[in-house]
Structure 1
Amino acid sequence: MQPWKISAGLTAALAGSVFLIGGSRLEYLAPHWPTILAEHGIALALHAVLALSVVAATIYVVARTTGLADLGSRVDLAERSVRRGEGDADLIEALRKDTQGEWE
């Protein structure tokens, strides 16, 4: 899986959690939201975009440094080598049975 996909998914999950938890704590501001957004809406939007991009960039960097970015290609390479007959004999036999539909 691409690291930007990981970072985008985790950022969306974190943002959703923050809005879900934070929304209930900000109910007392409900009558004042039109005024707040009229006076500070652009600044709030810019700060939210900046915060989300920092979280996404941090997750991306962590994925790249820990090697999660190349995990999908490594698993694909290992699976192709096993299907060619190189590697663990039990795994090769299990994959052959799975391909032919012979489940025990």
Structure 2
Amino acid sequence: MNKLILINHVLNDVSVLAPIIAKGDAVLFLQDGVYNIEGQQLQHLVKQVSFSKAYALEADLTARHVTTENEFNSDCKPLKVQSINYNEFVDLTLAYQTVITL
């Protein structure tokens, strides 16, 4: 079963995610974790580990003035980070059998 990985801080070394995240898993960036989708951070992250869906908590994006523009996947093609609200956050956690917070 696919996992939902919650990332709530800035990742200094994305290689620690390699044994945790598998193809088909989803990542949710929240709290200070939304900074990982700025600039080259997201591109570097997806080159190191593979995941199929990416989400960010809208309230945290707004509070930190972070946008979901300029996202990339490992082929440098757009990877859409979907902005979600708290209700969608709850639905998302219920949709996955395993939820891991990093």
Q: TM-score, normalised by structure 2?
A: 0.17
Larger Rg: 1
TM-score by length of 1: 0.17
Task: Specify which structure has the bigger relative contact order, considering alpha-carbon pairs within 8 angstroms and separated by 6 or more residues.
Answer: 1
Q: Pick the structure with more strand per residue.
A: 2
